[in-house]
Structure 1
Amino acid sequence: MNRCHRCGSPQEPPYTVVSRHFTSEGVLVYTRCACGALRPRLLRYDGLR
């Protein structure tokens, strides 16, 4: 399980989505933890490899 690098909370919903950016590899999603830490997540498109 991934945890926040700042407060140690589990990095599972609910978290706040700050922005989404579509790239050639997938969707880059920036999320914010309850403590305020920002985290990028790359959600890869299926079938690329």
Structure 2
Amino acid sequence: MAEIPGAPVAEGSPAPDFTLPAQDGREVSLRDFRGKNVVLYFYSKDDTPG
């Protein structure tokens, strides 16, 4: 399932790698945290400034 962009990831399976901008302008990838526990938290932009 994870090979198709935008496809849901099955519960319990690894998240696909992705890269996002950090607040300081550098890029951070999920692979940068390989071997560590990572919590991904998504929230609605409706309740945030910007």
> What TM-score comes out, normalization by structure 2 length?
0.27
TM-score, normalised to structure 1's length? 0.28
Q: Higher strand fraction: Structure 1 or Structure 2?
A: 1
Which protein, 1 or 2, shows the higher relative CO under an 8 Å CA cutoff with sep ≥ 6?
1
**Which of the two has higher C-alpha Rg?**
2
